[in-house]
Amino acid sequence: MAEQLGVESWMIDGRRITDEDMLRVVTMVYAGLVNKNMVAGLQALGVNAIGLTGADMNIMRSDKRPVKTIDYGFAGDVKEVNTEALALLLMNGYVPVLSPLTHDKKGLLLNTNADTIAAETAKALATLFDVTLIYCFEKSGVLMDENDDTSIIPLLNRELYEQYKQESVIQGGMIPKLDNAFQAIEAGVTQVIITKASAITSGKGTAIFN
């Protein structure tokens, strides 16, 4: 969509650089097109879903990421999750579908890494529920060889993760995903699985543990 609108897209280590034009694009696409299509699909399956950004019900507040070596623009680092609001929805039969947009409570929306949204939500709900966090993407799990979908690493702890990073087995966009996974485990999430969406109920993929 950014390309169609003539907006240049930049990614560094799996994280998007969000200038003013890109913020408009991600808001339209994430909070609108993608989120509402997911909600409609879930409703068709009998799941009473509700689509939200972090600004809705003050679900998730972020600070604009400070500039250090890289200026990520309008990117948000999560500071607060409204656990009570999420629990209220769940306990009343609603399934929240969160788009990766947060707010600073000063009127500004912030693009926020989707894996971070999932991890922060899981960590918050782990104080009230037994939570499993499942990351779904195009691969069957964390792979030893990114070109071989059968080379799944079935179990991954922090020590192995650091080793594989040094050996460049794990790199790029997988790094922030796994950083979030380990932070979730350390915060009380029962288990984290990384797999394909089609394999959610199969138990296949990479399991993260301390």
Same structural domain for residues 30 and 79?
A: yes
pLDDT at residue 203 is higher than 80: no
Same structural domain for residues 107 and 151?
A: no
Same structural domain for residues 14 and 100?
A: yes
Contact 74, 27 (CB under 8 A): no
The DSSP code sequence of 156-182 is E-HHHHHHHHHTTSS-TTHHHHHHHHH
pLDDT digits (tens, 9 = 90+) for 12-60: 776 778 999 999 999 999 999 999 999 999 999 999 999 999 999 999 9
Question: Tell me, what's the pLDDT at 24?
Answer: 95
Angle between helices 83-91 and 114-125 (to 10 degrees): 80
Buried b / exposed e over 81-90, threshold 16 CB at 10 Å, is bbbebbeebe
Question: Tell me, what's the pLDDT at 74?
Answer: 95
Please say which residue of 49, 79, 112 terminates a domain. 112
Question: Tell me, what's the pLDDT at 155?
Answer: 95
Same structural domain for residues 138 and 57?
A: no
Question: Tell me, what's the pLDDT at 45?
Answer: 97
**Number of structural domains in the chain:** 2
Question: Tell me, what's the pLDDT at 11?
Answer: 81
- Judge whether 123 lies within some domain: no
Please say which residue of 84, 112, 140 terminates a domain. 112
Supply the range of the domain harboring residue 101.
1-112
Same structural domain for residues 4 and 108?
A: yes
Please say which residue of 82, 112, 142 terminates a domain. 112
Question: Tell me, what's the pLDDT at 25?
Answer: 95
pLDDT band at 9 (very low <50, low <70, confident <90, very high): confident
0.85 exceeded by pTM: yes
CATH number at residue 93: 3.40.1160.10
Same structural domain for residues 102 and 188?
A: no
**Residue 43 tokens, joined:** 């409703």
- Judge whether 118 lies within some domain: no
